[in-house]
Structure 1
């Protein structure tokens, strides 16, 4: 017990800086080397203060500790700030108190301690509620905390109806309409980005389905599957892995196409489009593809491409874009299958 008290007294005696809180009632002994290494702002302050004290001592004055004042926060927050500076970024992560987290973020921003700033952002962000999100967003803007600002924006977008009913939002509407407009604009932009992303995902899903349909069409026309097969060869009795998802529906469409004689049949037009798409994607030499009308469509597309050099129509541009998108989807799908096979072999 006595040894612990003596060691604490020695450490306090070795300290060359006093950190004084806003109230002035608390004086925290500290070491200038620790504070300077933790914060470039404190380093600049301490260089000036220590030089001033050394000059005073050289002139015959009394030797005193340098003083650093931490203003604008409570005594407990200032003490916790100094304690965390001593622990450092590589030390044990001390839990930041909910009441002092906002003050700690301000101190970390003002004294340029990035690791503590990130930790405070995480502590505040994990406790965000609809009641506190407006004030927290303002704090994040003042302290240049992008991660915390992003969390606030996400919570606002998710629970905006609840945020509108809070006292903080009503106060914002009455006193800072420009910030209200900025928040609403950010939510609108986020909603537009979300809709655009969903639309692209839906479009990508269509291209993937067309890519799978092309694989099933080649499989049916080359090997056959349950009901439909190439000419002169019985279809395979066992269904393929894609039978339930794509192959069965495509076989029904092929059977309908072979029997239907209506000129305005929507199902037959869909089959014509699939055959045309296959021909645009097929890279087999002439005479080696078993898919019906493949060579006819390829020759027709070659003639159309030759005419399109002079003048291209909108339909041709859209069709070329569709072919390109499906080709990319096939390449990505085959790459994913290769990775799965390599992972299963490991």
Structure 2
């Protein structure tokens, strides 16, 4: 039987290569097809023939005959995509053969097909296979399955065998799972921070809106006209919360504020006012209360920090100079004694 179903009629008429498989079975094939599909087979076919030999023989042993037959048939196919039935029966062997003989399209197709059927029982064996066959895509999918259901994977016979016979690989897998967990925590923390920053940005916008135009029940003290309705509010929910904080401040129990912890709601409003002053770009006077006072205080603190930095740098230089002078005096004493002895 020759695999010439996709070739023009009469183009490949006589197979010139025999593929020897397990069980001494021979599969006829064409050297042009094998060489064009695999660089490894091409290099094997370029070797000189044995003396007196007319027909080339390539041995593919170590895998079942059906897997070799499916492999050769896929080399003749233009798509190199194995059917589902063949993948279920020879998927692992086809991945090994495509890796050994460097058939890239078939290898990628085998990776996708094996990854689609991953289970807790098979994932450890396929992970080891992916590492040995340099299949990073399949390796990544296996690690995801292990991370998602490690409790079930840990109970399988394959994991127990791995733990007893390859502790270094077990340690590598556990370290990879730990790193993936840390990355997931960092991504979750970063998403929470971005959400918090977005909420604070909305709060700053609503605070400027309330202090400038007024909103429902709260309006600037200098405005006598009724405030604008909720339709013009940039964020009704945030505005409602800010208005509650603003109404709470004058009505808060002052004795509670003098306690060690103070009022949390008042502290929250003061923090929002300070944050607004830190990012405010409006010229004075700003419509937000205490904005100018916070700005002046921050400028004074910044000037004090710069002055402290200068004094700190000056102190370091003076201390360094004092050490150098002390070392110079210590070195100068033996020199003076030597000169005195020479004079005597």
Normalising by structure 2, report the TM-score. Answer: 0.78
Call closer, same or farther: CA 1:261–1:305 in 2, change over 3 Å. Answer: farther
Q: CA deviation at 1:100?
A: 0.7
Gaps of 5+ in 2: 310-344
Q: CA deviation at 1:282?
A: 1.2
Choose from 196, 209, 212 the match for 2:186.
Answer: 196
Q: CA deviation at 1:135?
A: 0.8
Q: Which residue in 2 is equivalent to 1:297? A: 294
Q: Is 1:284 aligned to 2:282, yes or no? A: yes
Q: Which residue in 2 is equivalent to 1:139? A: 129
CA distance in 1, matches of 2:8, 2:32: 18
Q: CA deviation at 1:28?
A: 2.4
State the secondary structure of the residue aligned to 1:52: coil
Deviations for 1:166-202, whole angstroms, at most 9, x for unmatched residues?
Answer: 1112222222222222222222222222222222222
Q: CA deviation at 1:67?
A: 1.7
Higher mean alpha-carbon deviation, 234-243 vs 98-107, is at 234-243
Q: CA deviation at 1:10?
A: 5.1
Deviations for 1:126-165, whole angstroms, at most 9, x for unmatched residues?
Answer: 1111111111111111111111111111111111111122
Normalising by structure 1, report the TM-score. Answer: 0.78
Q: Is 1:52 aligned to 2:49, yes or no? A: yes
Q: Is the 8 A contact 1:225 1:239 kept in 2?
A: no
Higher mean alpha-carbon deviation, 131-140 vs 202-211, is at 202-211
Q: Is the 8 A contact 2:215 2:233 kept in 1?
A: no
Q: CA deviation at 1:261?
A: 5.7
Please, what is the CA RMSD of the aligned residues? 2.5
Q: Which residue in 2 is equivalent to 1:39? A: 38
Structure 1 residues 132-211: aligned runs within 5 Å? 132-211=122-201
The structure that has the greater radius of gyration is: 2
Gaps of 5+ in 1: 313-346
Paired positions, count: 296
Q: Is the 8 A contact 1:130 1:162 kept in 2?
A: yes
Q: Is 1:213 aligned to 2:212, yes or no? A: no
State the secondary structure of the residue aligned to 1:226: coil
State the secondary structure of the residue aligned to 1:28: strand
